[in-house]
Chains A and B, each alone.
Chain A
Amino acid sequence: MCGIIGYVGDESAQPRLVSGLQKLEYRGYDSAGIALANGDLSVTKRTGLVGDLDLPVSSPQTVGIGHTRWSTHGPPTDANAHPHTDCSGRVAVVHNGIVGNYDDLRAELPGHGFRSETDTEVVAHLVEEALADGHDLPEAVASVTERIEGSYALGVVAAGFDGIVVARRASPLVVGYGEGENFVASDVTPLLEHTRTVSYLEDGDVAVVTRDGIAVEHGGEPVERARHTIEWDADAAEKGGYDHYMLKEIHEQPQSLRQAIAGRIDDYDDRVDLDLSLSDSFLRDVDEVQLVACGTSYHACLFGKQLLESLADVRATVEYGSEYDVGSGRTPDRTLVVGVSQSGETADTLRGLRAARRSGIRTLGVTNTVGSTVARECDDAVYIQAGPEIGVAATKTFGSQVVTLALLAVAVADARGELDPDRGRDLLDGLQRLPGAVQAVLDDEETIGEVAEHYADGEAFFFVGRQFGSPVALEGALKLKEISYDHAEGFPAGELKHGPLALVTDETPVLALLTDGARPDETANNVREVQARGAPVIAFSSAARGEEDVAEQFSVPDLGLLEPLVANVYLQLFAYHLANSKGRSIDRPRNLAKSVTVE
C-alpha cells in the first residue's frame, strides 16, 4: 500500500512531486522519497512524512518520480524507503504492490549489492541488467515485467532518459495529460491541480511517459486507453474549518446521505431505480447474494444482508474479502456476488471478486470511486456518491454504503416480485428522513463530546446491539480502536454472556444500542447484566423509550429499523472526541492507511 507520483515536463519536477505526494499520504505515510532524473540521477528518501524530506531549495531537473510508503516488506527505515536504485545509481524504481518471487529473482542476481530489505529493490537490479544487455529503458522495463510475479504499479527513471517508464498489474495506476507536461500517479487526487484528462492503465500495460506524450503498450503492441475527464474537485477534500477531515466528513453526512438517494427513489410509485444492467430475470433466479468486503464496508454488508433477506426473500451471506472462496453447493449462474469497497481498490475485496468471476459468478461493485478497479472489473457497478473521503477512519461512506445496499434490497425485491408494498414504503420513507435524523444527532454534538471525554480513561469499551444494532456495535468499536488506540470490542448483545462478560468491570464503559431495529427489550436485559458488574452504560434509544438507571442516555429520532444507523453517528462522534481528547493523530492513525491495496 503506497502512493506513486511522476512528472515529466518543462518545469522543475521537485515541487510538483512533493505536493503530489502530500495529497497521496492517505495511502500510506511511514516513509517517502523522490528521484529526479534527466542528466544525473538524484534520490532523496527517509522515514517520516513527505514534509520531512531533506530536499534542496530548488532543483532544475524536470523529470522525476516520488513515493509515499506504507510498509509491507521490511520495517519503515531510510534504506527501505522508495525509490530504490541499482548498483550503478543510474536507475531508480518506485513500486506499489508485492513482488511475489523476489527471493528467486534475488538468487538470480549474484554480484549485485542489495541495500534494503524490500521486494522492490530487485526490480532496480533487473532493470540494470537489462540495460547492460543493450536494451533501452522501455524495453528493459517491459522485459522485467515478464519476470516478476505478483502485483505491481511501477515507475522507473534512469539517468540520461527524459521520461518515466511505468507498468501496471493489479495495482492502480493512472496517467494524466497536460500541456507540455505529463503525469502518472496511483490515483487522480494529486493530478487534479494540473489536469483533468486522465487514462487508467490496465493490467499488463507498459507506458512511456515523456514531455510530449504517453505511449502505452500491451503485450508489445501499441494500444490506446480511453481518456476520461474528472469532474470532482480535489479541493472539496480540504478541511473547511474543521480540525480534522474525519470531523468534517462526519458533518457531511446529511449531504452525502441525500446524494446517495438523489434521483433514485420514485416517491409516487415507491420504486427504486439504480440503473442496474443485471436483468430482472437473473435477479429473479438468484438463490444467494454473497456480500464481500473488509473493515467498515464489511459492517455495512452485515446491515445490508439483513435488509436483503427480509425484503427480497433471498439467502444473503457476508464474507471477508480475504477469506472469500467459492464454496461448494452453489450454482454460479444463480449466485450474485456484491463487492463493497469505498476506494474500489481494496486488494482483499478484489481478490474475492476475481475468485467469484473465475467461477462464472456475476459480480456487482458498490463503491465510491468512479473508474476504480472494482467498478471496472465487476459486471455492474452502483456508486454510493459520497464524495471524496480523506480521513483514514471511514465515516460518511459507511452510512452511504448502507443506504445504497438498502436501495439495492428494494430493487432486488422488486425485480423478484417479492416487494411487500408496506415494508418497501416504510424503508424508502426512512431513507428519505435519514439525513434530517442525522442532522439532529450532529446538533447534539456537544453533549456526546462531553460524555466521550468523561469516559476517556476507561480500560476498555464494549459496544452491544442486536439485529441492525449488531453491525453498528461492531462499527462503533472499530472506529474507537482505529483512532483512539483503546481496546474496544463490539458484540451482538446476546453474545456477551457467552464469554466477553468476564471482561466487564466498573472500568469498562458499555455502549448499548436500544433503538427500534435493534430489539431493545432483549438488549435491555444484557444492559442489566453489565450494570450488575458495575459497568457504566451509555444508552442510545428511541425517542419514545426511556432507559432507567443508565449512566448516560441519548435519544435518536423516530426512524424505525434505520435508527441504529442514526445512532452510529453518535458512536462516530464519541470515537472522535475521545481520541481527540487524548491528542491522537485522528486523520492518520498509526499503522493504518486509507485504501488497503495489499492482501
Chain B
Amino acid sequence: MRTVILAAGRGGRLGPLTEMRPKPMLPVANRPILESVVEAAVAAGADEILIVVGYRRDRIQDHFGDGDDWDATVRYVVQDHQLGAAHALSLTASAVDGPFVALHGDRPVDPALVERLVERYERTERPTVAAARSRRPTEYGSVELDGEAVVSVSAEPADDPPFLVNAGAYVFDERVFDAVEAPAPDARSHLDLGMATALQSLADDGLLTAVVDGGDVRDVTHPWDLLSTNAARLRDGENSVVSAGVHGTASVSDDAAVAESVSVGSHTSVLAGTALGRNVRVGSNVTLSNCIVMAGAEIGHGAVLSDCVVGESVSVGPNATAEGGDADVVVDGRVHSDVRLGGVLGDRAALRGNVTVCPGTVVGCDVRADAGTVLDGRIDSRDTVRRG
C-alpha cells in the first residue's frame, strides 16, 4: 500500500539539535528516526513512499534520495510553511488515490502494527488509527473507544493514567481530505491540534476505528528523550560496530554502536548507551557514557562525557568534562526537574581543553568556549564564552 510519511516539522523543543536538521533526522543508534519509519513502511509492504518535507528538507532528501537503498520508490511533497501535520497531510491529496498508510516521521513504528491497520481497513473499509496505552500524554493526543470505534479524540487526556493515546500510525482514504482543515499557525504553542481535529471529525461521522497496540509509545520531545530512546535501542538491538579504526586497547560496550570511518584512540572506553556517528574521532583515554555523538565530531584526549548529545562536527578539547546525571532544565519557560541530561552541544560548537559542562547545559550551534571555561544553563548559538 502507498505510504505517506509526515516529516515537515522542526521539533522546536529539541533546541539547537533541530536548528540545522528536522527532528525526524535526529539519530537514534546512529540512524535517523525517519529511517526506521521508512524501513517499517517497507517491511509492511509499502512500494511507494511519499514523504512530506518542509523544514530543512535538504537533509531528508540528501539521506533518502530516490529510496533505492531501501528498495522503495521515495517521492517528496514540499510543505512550504510549517502549518502542522494535518495541513501536511492535505498536501498529498492529489498524489494519493485510494487507501494509504500515514505515519509520522518522528515516531518509530512496528511493521506488524502497520499490517494490522491495513487488515482492519480492508475488513471495515473505514479510516483506522493506532492507539496505545501510555502513562504520559503524547504529542498526537488521546483517544476514547467504544469497542473498535473511536468516540472522541482530544489533545489532552481527560482521565487518569494510563491513557489510551494516538500512536501516530493510520490508514486513511480520500475521506480524510474532507476532514483536514489547515489550522491557523499558533506561534505560542507547540501543540499541533490539526490532526486531532481531523480525527475527531472522522469520529463524529462514525467512520474512525482504532487498533490497540501493546507496545510502548515513546515520544522524542526533549533532548533527554533522545538519549533514553537511543540507550533503549542500543540495549535491545543488534548494534553495528565498525572496529577498523578502534585501537586495540580501547573498549566498546556491547550496548554501544560505532559507525563507519570512526577512529577511537588507545585506552578509551565507549560505555553503554553511546553511539558514535560517521567520521567521529575520539582521542586516547576518553570515557563516553550514554552519549550520542553525531557525524564528524571530535572528542579530544582525556575527555569524560556522560549523558550528552554532541552535535555534528562539534569539537571537544582535551580533558573537557561533562559529569552527567540529573538536572533541572528549562525549555520554553517550563522547568523540567530531575531529567537525566549531561549536556547538549549544538552543531559545530567548539569547546577547548578543560571546559566543564555542568549537568543540563544546552550549548547552541557554533558556540566557542575558551579553554577552562565552565558552561552552565543555556548558551545561545554563535556566542563566545571567554575566561574570566
Q: What is the interface of chain A, defined by CB distance below 8 A to chain B? A: 233, 235-236, 238-242, 248, 251-252, 254-255, 258, 261-263, 267-268, 432-433, 435-437, 439-440, 442-443, 445, 557
Contact = CB atoms under 8 A, between A and B. Distances in A.
Nearest to B66: A238
Given A236-B66, A263-B244, A267-B245, A432 B61 contact: no
B273 interface: no
5 contacts: A238-B66, A251-B62, A254-B62, A255-B62, A435-B295
A435 B61 contact: no
Most A C-beta atoms less than 10 A away, residue of B64, B247, B263: B263
Interface of B: 20, 53, 57-58, 60-62, 64-66, 68-69, 74-76, 244-245, 247, 260-261, 263, 265-266, 278-279, 281, 295-296, 298, 312-313, 347-348
Contact of A235 (B20, B62, B68, B265): B68
B313 A241 contact: no
Contacts of B296: 432-433, 435-436, 439
A436 B62 contact: no
Most A C-beta atoms less than 10 A away, residue of B57, B66, B244, B295: B66
Contacts of B76: 240-241
Most B C-beta atoms less than 10 A away, residue of A235, A240, A254, A557: A240
B263 A268 contact: yes
A448 B18 CA distance: 21
A16 B281 CA distance: 48
Contacts of A255: 62
B247 A268 contact: yes
B348 A436 contact: yes
Given A240-B66, A241-B76, A262 B61 contact: no
Given A267-B265, A435-B296, A440-B347, 12 more contacts: A235-B66, A238-B68, A239-B66, A240-B74, A240-B76, A241-B75, A251-B62, A252-B62, A263-B244, A432-B296, A439-B20, A440-B348
B66 A432 contact: no
B295 A263 contact: no
Q: List the 6 closest pairs (A to B, CB-CB), nearest first.
A: A436-B313, A241-B61, A267-B263, A241-B76, A436-B296, A240-B65
Contacts of A248: 61, 65
A442 B56 CA distance: 10
A403 to B, nearest CB: 13
B278 A238 contact: no
Contacts of B278: 258
The DSSP consensus for interface residues of chain B is loop
Nearest to A442: B58
Nearest to B265: A268
Nearest to A247: B58
Nearest to B246: A268
A443 B64 contact: no
Contact of B20 (A240, A267, A435, A443): A443
Given A241-B57, A436-B312, A263 B265 contact: no
A339 B165 CA distance: 62
Nearest to B61: A241
Contacts of A252: 62
A480 to B, nearest CB: 22
Contact of B313 (A268, A439, A442): A439
A240 B247 CA distance: 38
Contacts of A242: 61
Contacts of A233: 68-69
B245 to A, nearest CB: 6
Contact of B281 (A251, A432, A442): A432
A268 B278 CA distance: 17
B247 A262 contact: no
B279 A435 contact: yes
A337 to B, nearest CB: 31
Nearest to A268: B247
Contacts of B58: 251, 442, 445
Nearest to B65: A240
B313 A433 contact: yes
Contact of A258 (B57, B74, B245, B279): B279
Contacts of B75: 241
A433 B312 CA distance: 10
A542 to B, nearest CB: 14
A437 B313 contact: yes
A408 to B, nearest CB: 19
A437 B312 CA distance: 10
Given A263-B244, A433-B296, A557-B348, A240 B263 contact: no
A557 B350 CA distance: 11
Most B C-beta atoms less than 10 A away, residue of A241, A255, A435: A241
Nearest to B312: A436
A262 B296 CA distance: 12
A442 to B, nearest CB: 7
Contacts of A263: 244, 261
A436 B263 contact: no
B61 A440 contact: no
A251 B66 CA distance: 14
Contacts of B66: 235-236, 238-240
Nearest to B262: A267
A91 to B, nearest CB: 40
Contacts of A262: 260-261
A263 B296 CA distance: 15
B281 to A, nearest CB: 6
Contacts of A432: 279, 281, 296
Contacts of A238: 65-66, 68
B31 to A, nearest CB: 15
Contacts of B68: 233, 235-236, 238
A236 B260 CA distance: 20
Contacts of A267: 245, 263, 265, 281
Contacts of A443: 20
A439 B21 CA distance: 11
Given A236-B66, A251-B62, A436 B295 contact: yes
Contacts of A251: 58, 61-62
B137 to A, nearest CB: 33
Nearest to A437: B313
Contact of B261 (A236, A258, A445, A557): A258
Contacts of A436: 279, 295-296, 312-313, 348
A106 B295 CA distance: 62
A261 B61 contact: no
A242 B298 CA distance: 31
A113 B160 CA distance: 93
A437 to B, nearest CB: 7
A239 B62 CA distance: 10
Contacts of A261: 261
A526 to B, nearest CB: 29
A233 B76 CA distance: 20
Nearest to A253: B62
Contacts of A437: 313
Contacts of B57: 241
B5 to A, nearest CB: 13
A241 B53 contact: yes
Nearest to A259: B261
A252 B281 CA distance: 22
Contacts of A239: 66
Contacts of A235: 66, 68
Contacts of A241: 53, 57, 60-61, 75-76
Most A C-beta atoms less than 10 A away, residue of B58, B74, B247, B260: B58
Contacts of A557: 313, 348
B67 to A, nearest CB: 8
Most A C-beta atoms less than 10 A away, residue of B244, B245, B263, B313: B313
A258 B57 CA distance: 21
A385 to B, nearest CB: 12
A435 B277 CA distance: 13
A437 B348 CA distance: 9
